[in-house]
């Protein structure tokens, strides 16, 4: 059984993710309740502002924990804001630093059409072929739940794992760099498809 | 467009009225939440309809039970009047919190809540009652009390204060299953900067198609039509 940790750093609701993982018969542990350094999978959830997440996560306690897992090749999985914070920096409330595991920046959604924000709802995701994650083909063009006003702009295409579209706008829905992965969407709130996706990522990645 | 079943809760039961009055028992919250989840609800919304009036909140244990097997976003409202309430709702398994009555008394609460929990967590829940063909007034306490606040003014205000979504109920059309209040929708649509969920009066699949076609960024919430088995969610989705 894979050992899973949810990094509950105070932003957003961790209960949905916790319930989903329980449903899949995993036994997730909350970081705040049990700090060990031997997890197979560390989830970074989060809802709220990049600057708030940056302030909290860029402290010794969290940085050391994440760095240990990153270096030992364990998997780190960021969801929504937790995915955005994996990147170099965010432009909300002036530039501030992300974890810089993936080169890229996080910017507000801007569109020629008048845009209602946040973007909320289910959108199809186009997954790109990835040698290490061949099972993602099964999820190509499935719908996942998104809610966000900011998007990631990657420095390199090699980190792109999946794309989504809204009107005239195309942006990363999933990103990857070695043992670091992130989704802009919420697999834990995307119904049965999302649950299966989570299960596959945890057991096959 | 999202289809969002709405469950009004009173004393541990799902209830349903007409024009937010004459509440009748429908069933157990956890049964219905699970049923609608399995039928393909995009999200689910639970509103405790007496919490604000009696200043109590026992919806949290209901959410806790209801969310163990439900993996779409859940919005919870009714009686939310402090940051602590919001925290408790989120810890119980809610993803978003809907705020009505207390915000009309203390608008800054929307600002504080969105700052603390992020805009996308805070839904401004609005109950609108018609004054004329072009005027609606905001009500509180589940349609029981007037506020003297104009609907368009209020929608502008709550968006300014940082809510991430609006749940708008037409009191006049609510529970009747005779169609949405299109005058109301048309009057507020130009003001919208955040997504709107409309609730009140959905009559069937044709209306869903009409909204999909003519109204962008509007999602629909419904209850009577599902509770009384007039149509299934699957049919509404197709």
Q: Can you give the pLDDT of all 238 residues of chain B as single tens digits?
A: 999 999 999 988 999 999 988 889 999 999 999 999 999 999 999 999 887 666 666 788 888 888 889 999 999 999 899 999 998 898 888 999 999 999 999 999 999 999 888 899 999 999 999 999 899 999 999 889 999 999 999 999 999 999 999 999 999 999 999 999 999 999 999 999 999 999 999 999 999 999 999 998 899 999 999 999 999 999 999 8
Nearest CB among A15, A121, A149 relative to B93 is that of: A15
Tens digits of residue pLDDT in A96-154: 999 999 999 999 988 766 678 999 999 999 999 998 899 999 999 999 999 999 999 99
For the entire predicted model, the pTM comes to 0.94
C-beta atoms surrounding B88 within 10 Å? 18
**What does DSSP say about strands B74-77 and B44-48: parallel, antiparallel, or unpaired?**
parallel
Whether domain B3-237 has CATH 3.20.20.70: yes
Spatial strand order of the sheet with A180-183 comes to A29-30, A4-6, A41-44, A75-79, A180-183, A169-177, A160-166, A126-127
How far away is chain A from the Cα of B101, in angstroms, using its nearest Cα?
Answer: 24
Q: What is the residue extent of each domain of chain A?
A: 4-204
CA distance B233 to B220: 12
Token pair for B163:
């809510």
Interchain proximity B42–A122, CB inside 8 Å = yes
Whether A181 and A82 have beta carbons less than 8 Å apart is answered as no
How far away is chain B from the Cα of A117, in angstroms, using its nearest Cα?
Answer: 5
CA distance A177 to B235: 42
Token pair for B124:
């401004």
Whether domain A4-204 has CATH 3.40.50.880: yes
Chain B CA closest to residue A49? B118
């Amino acid at each position: 059984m894979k050992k899973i940790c949810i990094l509950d750093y105070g932003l957003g609701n961790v209960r949905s993710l916790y319930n989903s993982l329980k449903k899949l018969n995993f036994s997730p542990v909350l970081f705040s309740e049990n700090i060990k350094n031997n997890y197979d999978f560390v989830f970074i959830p989060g809802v709220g502002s990049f600057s708030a997440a940056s302030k909290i996560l860029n402290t010794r306690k969290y940085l050391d924990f994440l760095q240990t897992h990153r270096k030992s090749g364990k998997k780190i999985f960021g969801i929504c804001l937790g995915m955005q914070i994996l990147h170099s920096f965010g432009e909300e409330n002036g530039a501030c630093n992300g974890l810089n595991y993936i080169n890229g920046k996080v910017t507000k959604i801007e569109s020629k059409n008048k845009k209602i924000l946040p973007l909320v709802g289910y959108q199809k995701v186009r997954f790109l072929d990835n040698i290490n994650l061949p099972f993602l083909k099964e999820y190509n063009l499935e719908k996942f739940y998104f809610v966000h006003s900011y998007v990631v702009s990657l420095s390199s295409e090699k980190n792109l794992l999946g794309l989504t579209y809204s009107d005239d706008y195309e942006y990363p829905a999933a990103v990857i760099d070695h043992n670091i992965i992130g989704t802009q969407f919420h697999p834990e709130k995307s119904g049965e498809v999302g649950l299966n996706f989570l299960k596959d990522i945890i057991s096959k990645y | 467009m999202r289809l969002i079943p709405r469950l009004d809760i009173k004393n541990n039961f799902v209830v349903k009225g007409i024009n937010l009055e004459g509440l009748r028992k429908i069933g157990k919250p956890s049964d219905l939440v699970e049923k609608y989840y399995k039928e393909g609800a995009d999200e689910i919304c639970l509103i405790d309809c007496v919490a604000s009036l009696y200043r109590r909140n026992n919806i949290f244990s209901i959410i806790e039970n209801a969310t163990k097997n439900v993996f779409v976003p859940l919005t919870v409202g009714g009686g939310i009047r402090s940051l602590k309430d919001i925290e408790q709702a989120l810890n119980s398994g809610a993803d978003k919190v809907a705020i009505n009555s207390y915000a009309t008394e203390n608008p800054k609460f929307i600002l504080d809540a969105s700052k603390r929990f992020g805009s996308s967590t805070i839904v401004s829940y609005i109950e609108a009652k018609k004054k004329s063909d072009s005027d609606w007034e905001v009500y509180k306490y589940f349609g029981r009390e007037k506020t003297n606040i104009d609907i368009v003014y209020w929608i502008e205000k709550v968006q300014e204060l940082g809510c991430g979504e609006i749940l708008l109920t037409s009191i006049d059309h609510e529970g009747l299953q005779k169609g949405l209040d299109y005058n109301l929708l048309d009057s507020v649509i130009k003001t919208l900067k955040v997504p709107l969920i409309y609730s009140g009066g959905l009559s069937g699949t044709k209306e869903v198609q009409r909204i999909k076609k003519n109204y962008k960024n509007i999602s629909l919430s419904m209850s009577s039509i599902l509770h009384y088995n007039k149509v299934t969610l699957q049919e509404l989705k197709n």
